[in-house]
Structure 1
Amino acid sequence: MNQEFSAAYWQQRYQQGQTGWDVGGITAPLREYFDQLQNKALRILIPGCGHAYEAEYLHNLGFTQVYVADLAEAPLQQFASRVPGFPKAHLLQADFFSLEGQYDLVVEQTFFCALPPDLRPNYARKCAELLYPGGKLMGLLFDTAFSSPGPPFGGDREEYRAYFSPYFDFLHFETAYNSIPPRQGRELFILLQKQAAE
C-alpha cells in the first residue's frame, strides 16, 4: 500500500471532515441499478466504502450479504452507529488488496479514483479475483482530468478499457445519464462481467 495514502492518511481526512467526494447519500446511477436486483442473497462487496450510503440502502432493501471495506476506522464506526442493524462482521477494516473471499457483485463508488494510478492494473485484477465466475463489477468511474493533484485522480475510458479488458466482458461502459449535477457528463457507468475461465 502506498504510504502516502495509508490508513492514517484517510483516517485524518475523515476526522477533519475533508471528504469532498461525499455527497451525503447514494447517487442515482447506483440506486437505480440496485432497485432492479431481485436476489437479496447476493454477496456484495463495497470497497473503499467511506460512509457507505450504498450499503445502508441495500441493507434497508433487505439484502443480507453486503460487506463493506475501508482502510480507515472512522467511517466504519460512523456507519455502525448510523445503521445499528448492519452485521458487525460485515464491516471490514482492511486494505482492499489483502481481502479474501468471493462475491457476486463488487460496487465501485469513488474508490478507484482515490487509489494512486499505478495501482489501477492491480485493482482490476483484484476485483476479478474477488468475484465468482460470472460475477459483476458495477459502479462509476470519473471520465475527466482534474487540474489539482489527487486524490481524486482522473482518467478516461480508453485507459480504463486497458485495465479491465483482460478480466472482464463489458456489458455497459457509457457516460452516466443520471449523475449528480457537478459530475454530469464526467462519469462512466460501468457494468463489467468476469470472464469465464479459458
Structure 2
Amino acid sequence: MDNEVDWEKRWKEGQTLWDAGKASPALKKLIEDEDTKHLIPSQGIGLVPGCGSGYDVELLATPERHMTGLDYSPTAVEVCRKIHPQAADKNYDFMCADFYNFEIPAGGYDLAYDYTFLCAMPPRLRPDWAARYPQLIKKGGVLIALMFPLEEKEGGPPFSLSRIVVTQF
C-alpha cells in the first residue's frame, strides 16, 4: 500500500496518540446496548483493519466469533502480540498485511469493524476502501463503521472526514 503517512515510523517512535489503552467506548456501548447488540453477528469470523493496539479486537472476540486484527505496520502487530499474549486462548489473533491485497478467508468475513480506519487512508484511496469491503464481507455479513472525526476542516487526524465523504460510500 502506498502510504502518505508512515505508520511504521509512527509506531516505532511511539507516536500513537490515537491509542486510548482500551476498547472504543462507542463499540463497548454498541455491544452492551440491548437495542443494538443484535446487529453484531454472534458467531463466525471478523476483521478489524487498522487495529491499533488490538483492544477492539479483544472486545469483539467471543468463543463463537473469531476476530483478526489487521495492521500494515509490523511494529503495530508486534505491539498487539505483546499486549495480548492470551489472544489465541480467547479466540483472536493479529496479522500484518495490506488491507487492499491480503488473502481473504474462503467465504469471507461475517463481520468487519472499521473505527477511524477510513480517516487513516489518503483521500485518493477512499474509493478502494469502499470497494474492498464488499470483497471481504460475505453475503449477509455486517460492516460496522464508526466514523470519527466528522469535521468540515482541513487536516487530520491524519485525513479529515466530512458527512458528505462518509455518505458517498
Q: TM-score range by the shorter chain?
A: 0.7 to 0.9
CA-to-partner distance for each residue in 1:77-96, whole Å, 9 max, x for gaps?
12212221213983210000
Alignment gaps of 5+ in structure 2: none
1:70 alignment partner in structure 2: 71
Contact 1:143 1:157 in 2 (8 A): yes
The reply to whether residue 18 of structure 1 matches residue 15 of structure 2 is: yes
TM-score scaled by structure 2?
A: 0.82
Is the Cα–Cα contact under 8 Å of residues 115 and 151 in structure 1 kept in the other structure?
A: no
Name the residue aligned to 2:2.
2
Opposite residue 15 of structure 2, the aligned amino acid is Q
List alignment gaps of at least 5 residues for structure 1: 164-198
For 1:116, give the aligned amino acid.
P
Letter in 2 for 1:43: I
Q: Which amino acid aligns with 1:127?
A: Y
* Cα offsets for 1:34-79 (capped at 9, x unmatched): 33257542311000111011012233x5454101110111121122
SS of residue in 2 equivalent to 1:98: coil
Q: For residues 109 and 34 of structure 1, what CA distance do their matches in structure 2 show?
A: 14
Kindly provide the CA deviation profile for residues 133-169 of structure 1, in whole angstroms up to 9, marking residues without a partner as x. 121111311211344x444211222222222xxxxxx
Letter in 2 for 1:157: R
Q: Which residue of 2 aligns with 1:41?
A: 43
Matched-pair contact (CA < 8 Å) for 1:47–1:108: yes
Measure, in 2, the Cα distance between the counterparts of 1:39 and 1:89. 15
Q: Distance in 2 between matches of 1:83 and 1:63?
A: 19
Residues 90-109 of structure 1: pairs in structure 2 closer than 5 A: 90-99=93-102, 100-101=104-105, 102-109=108-115
- Residues 50 and 117, structure 2, Cα contact 8 Å, conserved in 1: yes
Give, as a single letter, the amino acid of the residue that structure 1 aligns with 2:47.
L
Whichever residue aligns with residue 167 of structure 2, its letter is: R
**Using the alignment, how far apart are the partners of 1:26 and 1:152 within structure 2?**
20
141, 144, 151: which one aligns with 1:144: 151
Does the Cα contact within 8 Å between 1:43 and 1:105 map onto a contact in 2?
yes
**2:164 matches 1:155:** no
Q: What is the DSSP-based 3-state SS (H/G/I as helix, E as strand, rest coil) of the residue aligned with 1:50? A: coil
- 2:59 alignment counterpart: 57
Corresponding residue SS for 2:44: coil
Matches within 5 A, 1:165-184: none
User: Following superposition, which runs of at least 4 residues in structure 1 exceed 4 angstroms of deviation?
Assistant: 37-40
Separation of aligned partners in 2, 1:66 and 1:42: 9
Q: RMSD of aligned C-alpha atoms?
A: 2.2
